[in-house]
Amino acid sequence: MRCYFTRANSIQGVTFIKAASDEDLIEKAQQLFATRGDQFDGFEVWHGDRFIYRFKRDDQSLEIDTI
């Protein structure tokens, strides 16, 4: 599973993570973002070609998508 870190709608970094469930993946990605969030404005979590979660922070709003 992968966590892509984004800035200006472009992938700027990736970290491979392991977890038992989608919820665990999201939690681990949120923890990673909390330690690196000043470098990025969001992240996406993917398992293979399956989209799991997106977080995007901007000055005005917070966008969270899950499937």
20-39 confidence digits (pLDDT tens):
899 999 999 999 999 987 89
pLDDT band at 62 (very low <50, low <70, confident <90, very high): very low
Please give the pLDDT value at position 20. Answer: 86
Which pLDDT value is given to residue 36? Answer: 85
First to last CA, the chain: 15
Average pLDDT of the segment spanning 7-23:
92
For all residues of the chain together, what is the average pLDDT? 86
Instruction: Give CA separation, 60 vs 44, 48, 56, 66, in Å.
Output: 19, 31, 11, 20
